[in-house]
Amino acid sequence: MSTLFLARYLVPVTAPPIEDGALLVDGGRILEVGARKSLTAAFPEAAVVDFGDAILLPPLVNAHTHLELTHFPRWRAEAGETIAPGGDFVDWILHVIRVKRGLPLHRFESSVAAGIAASLAAGTGAVGDILSYFPARTAYRHSPLKGRLYLETLGLDPAQGRQLLSRIGTLLDEKRAGQLRLGIAPHSSYSLSADYLAQIMDFARRRKVATTLHLAEAPAEVSFIRDSTGPLADKLYPYVGWQGMAPPPARRSPVAWAEQCGALVPSCLLAHGVQIDADDAARLARAGSTVVCCPRSNARLGVGRLPVELYRAAGVPLALGTDSLASNETLSVWDEIAFARQWLAGKVEPAELLAMATIHGARALGVAADQGELKAGLGCNFQVLKPAKLPAFAELEEFLCAPGRSAEVVSLFLDAWDVLQKS
């Protein structure tokens, strides 16, 4: 039997918002999206679920996160680890390494589980999650989240890399962790040799799996790739035992370096992308790359502000991610939207932010045939917000980009089931 879901406001994302909207669902799929009056008249036999003075819209997509670090604030406190005042991006990396090194490995699974729960509670329906401790993938076994789980690898020795890829290849035979498709996460331009990154990309192409790469995140990365100098060479490499292993100067940007390594392909999702110029943006556009922005993490680590204008001019799609609780305060994409609206004031309009947080992320993670917008043919995936007071209809999109939305999520339907069961 078909069901009509009704709400005062309905936001399809890829079409204009609807006042007094309705969603017709049957067999777990959306049949029609439209006005309450017309759909209730056309389908009088349909069951009705009326959310009243609420906002109904697609689940959000967290396209770049590390849910295994959800308990990081707790671990940091237990270890008594801090970053010295004035610490930079590399000091933060060393801080994360120190905290992780002291952990019993079994604690990562419960951390992932906590991240899954926090994501769902904030209206997130799909994630691009990166995992360094592979056994913790079992936390996804019964999760309703969609998206991709990328298995992380790094290193400078291609011979050792072949052994790592062999192990990853065995795990890739599983295809999925829960409902997340497995992929590979070569870590970053400064933690991989050019030969190993090229090897990973070739391996991923042959195995037909997606990849993700941290790229152009910080000024330290730019100086390291271009000149083999700076705090990554001076502090990180000696700390992890890579003394004397810094690569020769590439004399190019991290984006140009990644292009040379074969990493600029549509199936490789790029995270951060703060330190780019117009030539880099053009390279990304030609390659069909998508960049995941993480504004709160970038601000907290002091690595710069996303050059939105360059991406828009080049036509590079942008998605949104929270990164991890090692560099952020929450895993809520609603909180990320609100921060981005203020931090990038005047550069990104509300409708664009909402698209970054839904359909752009869904396309980047390969789940757009199921969620990311509300339209006929997609799965029954949506969230419901119940604010104390609804905005005027003309102010709806601006309202959705303001702080406070996370606490207003009362329902999250994934595959036609309210996984929050609050309403």
CA distances from 58 to 17, 48, 337, 350, 400 (A): 12, 19, 14, 15, 12
Average pLDDT score, the chain:
97
Tell me the average pLDDT across 173-193: 98
Banded pLDDT at 422 (limits 50, 70, 90): low
- The pLDDT tens digits for 43-102 are 999 999 999 999 999 999 999 999 999 999 999 999 999 887 788 999 999 999 999 998
What pLDDT is stored for residue 157 in this prediction? 87
Q: Are 213 and 263 in contact (CB under 8 A)?
A: yes
| CB atoms closer than 10 angstroms to residue 399 | 19
Greater pLDDT, 162 or 364: 364
What pLDDT is stored for residue 102 in this prediction? 82
- The pLDDT tens digits for 392-404 are 999 999 999 999 9
- The pLDDT tens digits for 130-162 are 999 999 999 999 999 999 999 999 999 888 888
What pLDDT is stored for residue 369 in this prediction? 97
Q: Is 208 exposed, middle or buried (0-12, 13-18, 19+ CB in 10 A)?
A: exposed
Helix axes 219-227, 89-101, angle to 10 degrees: 100
Q: Which of 268, 304, 310 is nearest to 289 (CA)?
A: 268
> Is residue 201 scored above 80 in pLDDT?
yes
The model's pTM: 0.98
What pLDDT is stored for residue 319 in this prediction? 98
What pLDDT is stored for residue 153 in this prediction? 97
Q: Which of 134, 240, 223 is nearest to 177 (CA)?
A: 134
Q: Are 136 and 110 in contact (CB under 8 A)?
A: no
Q: Which of 37, 43, 58, 32 is nearest to 1 (CA)?
A: 43
What pLDDT is stored for residue 343 in this prediction? 95
Residues 6+ apart with CB under 8 A from 240: 97
Tell me the average pLDDT across 182-187: 98
> Is residue 27 scored above 90 in pLDDT?
yes
Over the range 322-350, which residues count as b (16 or more CB within 10 Å of their CB) and which as e? bbbbbbbeebbbbbbbbbbbeebeeebeb
Tell me the average pLDDT across 3-26: 98
